[in-house]
Structure 1
Amino acid sequence: MHSHGPLSRSKPSHPTINPHDLPPNAHPASLMFLTVTHSLPSLSQALTSLTASSHTRRLVALVLDTFSADAVEVARRFGLPAYVYHPSSATALAFTFYYPSLDEDEIVISRKFGELVLSEPLRLPGCMPFDARDLSDLVQDTSSDFHATLVHLCKRIRHADGVIVNSFLHLEASPIKALQNGKNPPVYPVGPIVQLSSSNSSSSECLAWLDDQPENSVLYVSFGSGGTLSYEQFDELAYGLEMSGHRFLWVVRAPNGSALSGYLNPQKEDPFEYLPKGFRDRTQGRGFVVKSWAPQVEVLRHGSTCGFLTHCGWNSTLESVMSGKPLIAWPLFAEQRLNAAVLSGEFKVALRPRVNEKGIVEREEVSRVVKCVIEGEEGKEMGKRMGVFKDAAISALSKDGSSTRTLETLATKWRNMEI
């Protein structure tokens, strides 16, 4: 990173990665890590070009994505401090630092076949206790390729000169203070970093539909940019929304056997074809269904939106915080279960639907939690608590706010490196 000025007047070339160099059927996270690994020579070449150019201001730091942590060593070769940007919560960062030593605590009874069993809840410094179900997508079978990737990345991040985290003090005060214990790299909470607006939102039909709905009457339903449901769960959600009798705006993606399918393969199927027969006719007027994408920032900010049924991705969580809307926590994969546990158990701004023995949220349960959020006292209390977090988020980003001061401290540190 430069303290100021353009990166370069001539752009170095960035050769693409040959897919045949990557192992087939590997975990998506492992593929991201390997893609970065194959790109390190290109990064070295680019840094060589930048440092040799007379038109380039002196480089003072390199800021890396979590999956690019191996580039810390590249930065070292160029005498650059390296910082990792962690786009998720401070709680998830605490787990990231802890993960390589998980087995040393001897609380893991089994992690075979994706079924995690713990002898007791996991207690991380500054965090609430976590049950096995909150960690099941994070703690991998030791024989999996992803486990080795996770251990490697978690250890490598500790070699960074600092970690920039997308959170703020009032939201996660205890985890952040626990992370700033001198044993970890310095942690810089600079969030919430969220989009201020969505692209192409001005012509969105769903916003026009929201304009015609009563205030605080609509549940927004979305599972992020790539999350998908199973065929059975897709049906149960549809029938549950219908049973609730409440208004909803649902971003629909075709069901699939994998919750990750929307990330792994672009969807070509029409998701409307999978809706229950007659569903759109029966819910006409109080339900609005859109394919694949909606202007989420504007939807959440809209006065007609009352709550958000979400997969608990951290970006979506922070966008809901900034809009002050309570949540129905429906995690799918990765650290989303961890986020859901914190949102429902610690922050108390989310309801977490009960699942049956097959892991399905049945339609009656969908209807129950929708009613709780939109018409129940519990939903109103969650909304009040979320409003407090909204005010705190706005304060953190203000001129004298905690996140602004933290970022200024870091920028000043980099600026002094140039002198």
Structure 2
Amino acid sequence: MNQSKSHIVILPSVGISHLIPFVEFAKRLVSQHNNFHVTCIIPTNGPPPQIAKAIVEALPTTIDAIFLPPVSFDDLVANPLAPLTLTVSRSLSSIRNVLESLLSKTHVAAFLTNFFGIDSLDVVKELNIPSYIFFPSPATVLSLFLHLPKLDESLSSEIRYLPETMKIPGCIPIPAEDFPGGGTFQDRKGDSFKRFLHIGKRISSVEGIIVNSFTDMESGVIIALQDGAGANNPPVYPTGPLVQTGSSSEEDRSGCLRWLDNQPLGSVLYVSFGSGGTLSRAQLCELALGLEMSEQKFLWVVRRPNDESPSAAYLSDKSQFDPSDVLPSGFLERTEGQGLVVTSWVPQTQILSHGAIGGFLTHCGWNSTLECVVFGVPQIVWPLFAEQKMNALILVEDKKVALRPKANENGFVEREEIAKVVKELMEGEEGKRLGQRMGDLKEAAARALSKDGSSTASLSELASKWENVEAPKVE
């Protein structure tokens, strides 16, 4: 640890999809500003997954990583999402120990966490460390969070439900069904609204918010956020798109890259619902039949189906399984020359950057969205949970770089609709237009990260601020 450098501490919440953007931010910071050293504190609720270890092992020497002792949820068996939402709050004593140890050795200029780590801000405040939020979701969702306290105050206490459509500064109107949590978010007395209202109040008290987006991606929202900085909201620093870089240190065990090498240019649809997303068994089978019906080539990462929760893959068994146990009878045999089905971890950024990929059917997580932007891959969006419907709204209605299949009155997407949308993206005229617009967005992303780009300037402004922070002391 170099004591002459300003020290930055980052605390992602549990989960690989949260770790990656934090690490990429840290790598970008130390590569552009060599007077910083970063410590990444990683909360756990069990043994760290192999992919997390691989990411940590590949870090440069200017970034340290500390895995905290795992916390237990044996007392919360009935709460399947507890690991995602409560791991940080149950790790506060360990976080305090790490911070106090760092303060005894070095100058800590800033502490960054995300909205799932918001309880750690109390400890950070007690230690007099400047606190920041690293927001790994789009600026549109950040604007929604910051808008909620004002909206809540403006409504009569007798009005229980929010409007059917919400207009937040700089953003296209958001229908109720696209709010995080869907219709449950509308109920001001419900848990979803109360949780997000709490987040909105807490993040407005930090010294700055770093958002993983860039001006051309969400220009109206970012301008509105920056104009609103001051008395009510903290400064906002768009530094994206931050996506996983470099080749993975893990082998391509699935063989998907070798398979792609043998496919025609732009001919393959990549299908994945991320590290946490999954479908019901019936919808999984319908998707399979739709892909087969489309007659388009595909590379599909299949997760175990779950009829209870679309986010069940976060918590389910990650071991490999026989896909024939969950897919329609004979599907794998019939599509042997058309597609490749894998159930293991795959190197997604290497897949999306491969010349054979022509489109991505995605759950619309923000990491995957930005990876598509960086590599210029048009999308079919199939949002499942969290803020993914808002992300889909940005891509379909605002940026017009994605298609969205229509579900029936029961929320089920039928095979004919799937086949139609896949064919349109991969070989239709609308698919070509989407590809051209995504190509323009790819160029805009590259400009933002260039030497004189908007995101580079935003990071430099932040770094300059941190360089001038006096060393905090424990009271």
* TM norm. shorter chain > 0.5: yes
Return 5+ residue gaps in structure 2 as ranges: 1-6, 9-34, 40-61
Residue in 2 that maps onto 1:134: 178
The 3-state SS of whatever aligns with 1:410 is helix
2:203 to 157, 162, 168: 157
Residue in 1 that maps onto 2:73: 19
8 Å contact kept, 1:108–1:118: no
CA shift, 1:100, in A, is 4.0
* CA distances 1:254-298 after superposition (whole Å, capped 9, x unpaired): 211121110022245533311111111111211111114322111
Residue in 1 that maps onto 2:27: none
Residue in 1 that maps onto 2:289: 239
2:254 & 2:325 partners in 1: Cα distance?
Answer: 22
2:267 & 2:279 partners in 1: Cα distance?
Answer: 25
Please say if 1:122 is aligned against 2:166.
yes
Please say if 1:251 is aligned against 2:296.
no
User: Identity over the aligned pairs, expressed in percent?
Assistant: 49
8 Å contact kept, 1:90–1:176: yes
The 3-state SS of whatever aligns with 1:393 is helix
1:242 & 1:152 partners in 2: Cα distance?
Answer: 45
2:407 to 343, 355, 375: 355
2:67 & 2:274 partners in 1: Cα distance?
Answer: 32
Please say if 1:34 is aligned against 2:80.
no
The 3-state SS of whatever aligns with 2:411 is coil
Residues 201, 298 of structure 1: alpha-carbon distance in 2 compared, 3 angstrom cutoff: farther
Return 5+ residue gaps in structure 1 as ranges: 112-116
8 Å contact kept, 1:207–1:299: yes
RMSD of equivalent CA atoms: 2.7
8 Å contact kept, 1:12–1:49: no
* CA distances 1:211-260 after superposition (whole Å, capped 9, x unpaired): 11111111111000121101111111001001111111111112111211
* CA distances 1:146-187 after superposition (whole Å, capped 9, x unpaired): 544333222111111111100011111111111111231111
Please say if 1:79 is aligned against 2:111.
no
Residue in 2 that maps onto 1:379: 431
Please say if 1:308 is aligned against 2:360.
yes
* Range 274-283 or range 33-42, more displaced: 33-42
8 Å contact kept, 1:27–1:146: no
1:251-330 superposed matches below 5 A: 251-257=301-307, 258-267=309-318, 269-330=321-382
CA shift, 1:45, in A, is 2.4
Residue in 1 that maps onto 2:457: 405
Letter in 1 for 2:305: P
Please say if 1:96 is aligned against 2:145.
yes
* Range 370-379 or range 134-143, more displaced: 134-143
8 Å contact kept, 1:94–1:179: yes
8 Å contact kept, 1:107–1:119: no
Residue in 2 that maps onto 1:214: 264
2:381 & 2:400 partners in 1: Cα distance?
Answer: 11
The 3-state SS of whatever aligns with 1:164 is strand
Residue in 2 that maps onto 1:69: 118
* CA distances 1:102-144 after superposition (whole Å, capped 9, x unpaired): 5556599999xxxxx8644211100011112211625535565
The 3-state SS of whatever aligns with 1:317 is helix
Residues 84, 213 of structure 1: alpha-carbon distance in 2 compared, 3 angstrom cutoff: same
Residues 255, 62 of structure 1: alpha-carbon distance in 2 compared, 3 angstrom cutoff: same
Please say if 1:4 is aligned against 2:59.
no
* Range 357-366 or range 141-150, more displaced: 141-150
Letter in 2 for 1:216: G
* Range 192-201 or range 178-187, more displaced: 192-201
Please say if 1:345 is aligned against 2:397.
yes
2:255 to 190, 202, 205: 205
The 3-state SS of whatever aligns with 1:45 is helix
The 3-state SS of whatever aligns with 1:61 is strand
1:358 & 1:34 partners in 2: Cα distance?
Answer: 33
The 3-state SS of whatever aligns with 1:62 is strand
Residues 374, 15 of structure 1: alpha-carbon distance in 2 compared, 3 angstrom cutoff: closer
Residues 373, 106 of structure 1: alpha-carbon distance in 2 compared, 3 angstrom cutoff: farther
Residue in 2 that maps onto 1:60: 109
Letter in 2 for 1:4: F
CA shift, 1:24, in A, is 3.6
* Range 377-386 or range 251-260, more displaced: 251-260
Residues 67, 252 of structure 1: alpha-carbon distance in 2 compared, 3 angstrom cutoff: same
8 Å contact kept, 1:255–1:271: no
The 3-state SS of whatever aligns with 2:301 is strand
TM-score, normalised with respect to structure 1: 0.90
* CA distances 1:14-64 after superposition (whole Å, capped 9, x unpaired): 4432324x5342362x55443322222222222222222xxx221111111
* Range 131-140 or range 378-387, more displaced: 131-140
* Range 360-369 or range 267-276, more displaced: 267-276
8 Å contact kept, 2:254–2:344: no
The 3-state SS of whatever aligns with 2:342 is strand
Letter in 2 for 1:26: N
Letter in 2 for 1:159: S
1:73 & 1:143 partners in 2: Cα distance?
Answer: 25
* Range 141-150 or range 278-287, more displaced: 141-150
Displacement over 6 Å in runs of 4+: 10-13, 107-111
Residue in 1 that maps onto 2:25: none
2:66 & 2:250 partners in 1: Cα distance?
Answer: 31
8 Å contact kept, 1:70–1:156: no
8 Å contact kept, 2:280–2:305: yes
Residues 44, 313 of structure 1: alpha-carbon distance in 2 compared, 3 angstrom cutoff: same
TM-score, normalised with respect to structure 2: 0.80
8 Å contact kept, 1:5–1:57: no
Letter in 2 for 1:16: P
CA shift, 1:313, in A, is 0.1
